[in-house]
Structure 1
Amino acid sequence: MSHSYPRIAALKTAAQFEAHVTAIGATLPFDVQVQPAPDSPLAAAIETSAGRAGNRFSILPMEGWDGTTDGRPTDLTRRRWQRFGESGAKLIWGGEAFAVRHDGRANPNQLCLGPTSEADLVQLREDLFRGHRGAGLETGDLVVGLQLTHSGRYARPDPDKQPRPLAAYPHPVLDRRVSPDRPVPLLSDDDLDDLSARLVQAAALAQRAGFTFVDIKHCHGYLGHELLSARTREGRFGGDFVGRTRLLRQTVEGIRRDAPGLAIGVRLSAFDTTPFRKGEDEVGEPEAVQADYAYAFGRWDGTAALPDLSDTRAFLTLLTELGVDLVCLSAGSPYYNPHIQRPATFPPSDGYLPPEDPLMSVARQIAVTAALKQDFPTLRIVGSAYSYLQEWLPNVGQAVVRTGGADFIGLGRMVLSYPEMPLDVLRGQALKRKSICRTFSDCTTGPRNGLVSGCFPLDPFYTAHPDHARLKAAKAGA
């Protein structure tokens, strides 16, 4: 069948992996031998505006589903942060997607700005540092930031878990998905001024809590990302490039004023394409003509060629002018085209089977990131989409850093099942095969069914959690 691709775990040797990459017409940097520290490219320290990072592994930000309904962390949140620290990665990008307004929460258990946030963030940061020290590591070269977000069209802030979308502009495909019966409310320019003020407030709070940078999130279809394609929006925050980047520029200016010395980063979807839906045989198919899709920022037309990165280059030029050097690159959105963003063999319960070998999706992100790093050598760039590589993640990651294709290798899902992978790689230890993320997508299916965040198949803590049985029942029902 068209969606049946070889599993990475079945590619037992480097030669088999490289032969498969060649057979599908992809190109991936690859080192047959993975070097331990101190000689490994992955072990090299690097200076950033937020501090000196002691190696080239980065933990990507998570959207937790295990906070309280009033936006505070729980013991499950604290455990996750401690494991981020235990990972050995020296750049913690965001740790958590932290909503700066209640109406911007993507789920009713997401962390959110509130009266106790400063003390809560102090505690989470200390949990992370304690995990790092517990792994026998120094903390002087550990760089920790907080991702600030508003979920916009994908807001589900209330305990009833119903969509409460707030959009930047009308969208003919996405509007009917999130609000089939009524128009999606549009945020006014005054709303966006208020949002910018909240972002600045949260940034100053994060600085007081000990974080050395904040990420002003511009990825995955959330509000910051959506504004970048708001060409049809009228008013100060839409239309031309100046309007579409006003939220970023206004927020950076406010942070420089109210939190001097705090570094700023941006996680960006470097390219996008039409929304996909489940088609024949449950394989994803485009819901609009990719070549005509007018709502992408960095449009990929679905061909073998790389996406059109002119939008992206203009944005990275702006970041350089603003003195922002921390950039974490991703692609698309987990809500409407997850295969280009988060390659996986097994889709979440509400997803579709991959319409291309997921290795193609990985290779595309790595190639785009390398092209942008070449054009913007002074930026400190984190690459994403590595978890699908599984056993071969260290081989590809080392080659990418060695050849200058990115400064950091970002780990997302992998950290839920195998947080200590970076330490094992740097210490020259064999990978723990039974802990390697196999992209079962239960860490997405669970939250989509109102359950907590975690790796239910591979983390014994979550295998024993009551939500594991609920997840099995939900999947059986689906």
Structure 2
Amino acid sequence: MNYNNLFTPFKIGKMEVKNRLVFSPMGTNSSHIDGTIANDEIDYFEERAKGGVGLIIMGCQFLSKEIAQGSLEGILEQTYVIPQLTTVCEAVQRYGAKIIAQISCGTGRNAFPNMLGEPPMSASPIPSTFNPAVNCRPMSYEDIQDVMKKFANSAKIAKDAGFDGIEIHGHAGYLIDQFLSPIWNKREDEYGGTPEKRTRFAREIVRSIRGAVGPDMPILFRISLDHRFEGGRTLEDSMPLIKLLEEEGVDAVDIDAGSYETIDYIFPPAYLGDACMDYVCEPARKTVNIPILNSGNHTPETAVKLIESGNADFVMFGRQLIADPEMPNKLMNGLREEVRPCIRCNEDCIGRIAGRLTKLSCSVNIQACDEARFAIKPAAKAKKVVIIGAGPAGLEAARVAALEGHNVTVFEKENVIGGQLAAAATPAFKSQLRRLVGWYELQLKKLGVDLQLGKEIHAEDKALMDCDNIIVATGAVPFNPPIKGIDSSNVINVIDAHKNKELLKGENIVICGGGLSGCDSALELATEEGKNVAIVEMMDSIAKDVMFINKAALIPALEKAGVKAYTSCKVTSIDEQGVHVEKADGTSELIKADTVVTAFGMRKNNKLAEELKAKYHIKTRVVGDCEKVGKVGTAIRMGFFAAMSL
């Protein structure tokens, strides 16, 4: 595909952006508690500017410490934050990119309960999203005026710091959106009661900022045009709102879909597919004349299609530019296959922030938000490195070790690389996993790694004796509990179910195990193979090991595909008729199946690792699932660390 149309300049107000690629706003949770941004965050944004993106919109910065509620993003309240902000602005502008400060007056009802305090205020006394027992405090007229003053103050700080523009965070059911939407705004004063009155809060914010920064600095507005839940704002409802924002002087709208009620659209996982929110652009284009920015699982190909359609002027990439900040330069130089894909797992970006309250990283790019600390540098002395296993841990270890200048040999007993990654990548909705395997194959070839496929190595092999370092990455193998009939001819494991579809006999498939691998296999077999699929799970619900954002998309997809879930059911035996289970009430049931797929989990394949640790304990390091069974990102991180420590 020709990507030239992504690299034409375009203006937002009086600001010219060098190309159509925008780094989406996404918090890093790495700022200091006093509201100043950290050096790690500066390095992070500089790396994306260096990679060729035209415009960077920083994750939301808050008006005040109180409104930030303990979130470790920047706070635009005091002037002492300006010097660090100037540093990030000039680090980005050095490469010809523009940088926008996104400003937020808070989450309102969407505050995470594990953050500081409860939601302090909203448009109305509505229940908190994550703690419905707590009602938000409705904002008074005085509260609203105080917010307007704070926006003017924060905008002035952003301008003095050197930002090229300001974006108002009116997105995803946060506080501004709570004023815009009748499901949350129950007011009957001048800030509610009619669609136009509900926009007053947002329009006064635009006026406040414009008064502080003058006529030339562009103001963008980020808004979800389709909440995608019953009672939420629809596309039709949103059109008059963005028209009023245009009339108020907003220079561009940054649009997508979703809300915290449909959180999978805020951080769209693999199950939602490519360009899952570009549908909001065409009606918006017919409504407003200002530039349109759009995000949502875009690929370079969907970006070209959207720009060529004329329905948007900029295409936004968030997690993809976290995974590979060099994507724009690679596309510009005809290196599409060099782009490291985001696998849309959400585990180490938003997952680390929401789940662990730590800073952002990336499952496939361990250097994200640690660009300086984890910089890959040439080794002082080249070593002979043997890596056993070409799954994600072994592939990453090989790539990084080769980049450091070591002589790397990889032994893989299978005839293909990827390990479990290759098996998990067979569904259409896991296309980015397939791309990742291909990306690793290309990197190892370019770096001259000696990849020996179909070669199983043993502790006595001379190659292990002669090398300086051994990295063992033999992965994991399916775990099969001692269940009667589990070795029957109609039973296969979930890895084989992915890789060898011809083993799936008949139309009725029962999957034993409702974790991520079992659910993904069920979705693939139901939607792509047309099978009648049932999942048997001993716990009280399926997908318990699936991150909550991904689960919000996975469960409806399984339901839509007609997959049945038998929960609180223990598998007691398997025979030619199907799976016999014991239910929670003690009764038994036969779930008929032509083929039974076992997905009881994985166990460490560590026999060789233990032998090598005993024989070569000084030079052996064990990584990936053969050390600790985990996710793709866990394995890649362990491989990266092992190579970095050589």
Fold in common (TM above 0.5): yes
Identify if the C-alpha distance between structure 1 residues 463 and 167 changes in structure 2 by more than 3 Å, giving closer, same or farther: closer
Whether the 8 Å CA contact 1:106–1:156 is kept in 2: the answer is no
Identify if the C-alpha distance between structure 1 residues 374 and 420 changes in structure 2 by more than 3 Å, giving closer, same or farther: farther
Identify if the C-alpha distance between structure 1 residues 50 and 106 changes in structure 2 by more than 3 Å, giving closer, same or farther: farther
Give secondary structure in 1 for the equivalent of 2:178: helix
Whether the 8 Å CA contact 1:273–1:337 is kept in 2: the answer is yes
The yes-or-no answer on 1:253 pairing with 2:207 is: yes
Deviation at 1:399, TM superposition (A): 1.3
Deviation at 1:177, TM superposition (A): 4.1
Deviation at 1:247, TM superposition (A): 1.8
The yes-or-no answer on 1:437 pairing with 2:437 is: no
The yes-or-no answer on 1:77 pairing with 2:41 is: yes
Whether the 8 Å CA contact 1:152–1:167 is kept in 2: the answer is yes
Deviation at 1:129, TM superposition (A): 2.8
Whether the 8 Å CA contact 2:77–2:150 is kept in 1: the answer is no
Counterparts of 2:261 and 2:172, CA distance in 1 = 9
The yes-or-no answer on 1:65 pairing with 2:29 is: yes
- The aligned counterpart of 2:177 is 225
Once the two structures are superposed, residues 134-161 of structure 1 have per-residue CA deviations (whole angstroms, 9 ceiling, x without a partner) of xxxxx2xx33211000222233599x64
- The aligned counterpart of 1:27 is none
Counterparts of 1:459 and 1:61, CA distance in 2 = 18
Counterparts of 1:191 and 1:429, CA distance in 2 = 52
Deviation at 1:234, TM superposition (A): 3.1
Counterparts of 1:43 and 1:67, CA distance in 2 = 32
Identify if the C-alpha distance between structure 1 residues 157 and 96 changes in structure 2 by more than 3 Å, giving closer, same or farther: farther
Give secondary structure in 1 for the equivalent of 2:273: helix
Please show how residues 21-60 of structure 1 align to structure 2 within 5 Å.
33-35=1-3, 40-60=4-24
**Greater share of strand residues, 1 or 2?**
2
- The aligned counterpart of 1:103 is 66
Deviation at 1:368, TM superposition (A): 1.5
Give secondary structure in 1 for the equivalent of 2:337: coil
Whether the 8 Å CA contact 1:81–1:128 is kept in 2: the answer is yes
379, 383, 394: which one pairs with 2:294?
A: 383
Whether the 8 Å CA contact 1:45–1:52 is kept in 2: the answer is yes
**Structure 2: runs of 5 or more not aligned:** 375-623, 635-646
The number of equivalent residue pairs is 374
The yes-or-no answer on 1:328 pairing with 2:250 is: no
Whether the 8 Å CA contact 1:41–1:402 is kept in 2: the answer is yes
- The aligned counterpart of 1:315 is 241
The yes-or-no answer on 1:237 pairing with 2:191 is: yes
Counterparts of 2:199 and 2:128, CA distance in 1 = 26
Amino acid at match of 2:267: R
Deviation at 1:201, TM superposition (A): 1.2
Q: Percent identity?
A: 22
Counterparts of 1:234 and 1:324, CA distance in 2 = 26
Counterparts of 2:135 and 2:7, CA distance in 1 = 51
Once the two structures are superposed, residues 5-64 of structure 1 have per-residue CA deviations (whole angstroms, 9 ceiling, x without a partner) of xxxxxxxxxxxxxxxxxxxxxxxxxxxx233xxxx1111111221411111101111122
Deviation at 1:216, TM superposition (A): 1.3
391, 402, 408: which one pairs with 2:314?
A: 408
- The aligned counterpart of 2:285 is 373
Please show how residues 250-329 of structure 1 align to structure 2 within 5 Å.
250-260=204-214, 261-274=216-229, 290=230, 293=231, 296-298=232-234, 309-329=235-255
- The aligned counterpart of 2:269 is 344
Deviates more, 1:259-268 or 1:335-344: 335-344
Counterparts of 2:113 and 2:205, CA distance in 1 = 23
Counterparts of 2:12 and 2:77, CA distance in 1 = 30
Amino acid at match of 1:297: R
185, 199, 207: which one pairs with 2:137?
A: 185
334, 355, 359: which one pairs with 2:273?
A: 359
The yes-or-no answer on 1:155 pairing with 2:111 is: yes
Deviation at 1:167, TM superposition (A): 2.0
Give secondary structure in 2 for the equivalent of 1:449: helix
Whether the 8 Å CA contact 1:165–1:178 is kept in 2: the answer is no
Identify if the C-alpha distance between structure 1 residues 398 and 147 changes in structure 2 by more than 3 Å, giving closer, same or farther: same
Once the two structures are superposed, residues 345-393 of structure 1 have per-residue CA deviations (whole angstroms, 9 ceiling, x without a partner) of 3xxxxxxxxxxx4128x34x212212312332x2111111034xxxxx1
Deviation at 1:407, TM superposition (A): 0.4
96, 112, 121: which one pairs with 1:166?
A: 121
Deviation at 1:70, TM superposition (A): 1.6
Whether the 8 Å CA contact 2:61–2:74 is kept in 1: the answer is yes
Identify if the C-alpha distance between structure 1 residues 342 and 179 changes in structure 2 by more than 3 Å, giving closer, same or farther: closer
TM-score by length of 1: 0.72
Deviation at 1:184, TM superposition (A): 2.4
Deviation at 1:198, TM superposition (A): 0.8
Whether the 8 Å CA contact 2:113–2:131 is kept in 1: the answer is no
TM-score by length of 2: 0.54
Amino acid at match of 1:341: I
Amino acid at match of 1:379: I
Deviation at 1:66, TM superposition (A): 0.7
Amino acid at match of 2:280: V
Report the RMSD for the aligned CA atoms in angstroms: 2.9
- The aligned counterpart of 1:399 is 305
Whether the 8 Å CA contact 1:48–1:325 is kept in 2: the answer is yes
Deviation at 1:463, TM superposition (A): 11
Counterparts of 2:212 and 2:265, CA distance in 1 = 37
- The aligned counterpart of 1:126 is 90
Identify if the C-alpha distance between structure 1 residues 41 and 456 changes in structure 2 by more than 3 Å, giving closer, same or farther: closer
Deviation at 1:273, TM superposition (A): 2.6
Deviation at 1:176, TM superposition (A): 5.5
Whether the 8 Å CA contact 1:34–1:394 is kept in 2: the answer is no
Identify if the C-alpha distance between structure 1 residues 463 and 311 changes in structure 2 by more than 3 Å, giving closer, same or farther: closer
User: Whose radius of gyration is greater, 1 or 2?
Assistant: 2
Give secondary structure in 2 for the equivalent of 1:327: strand
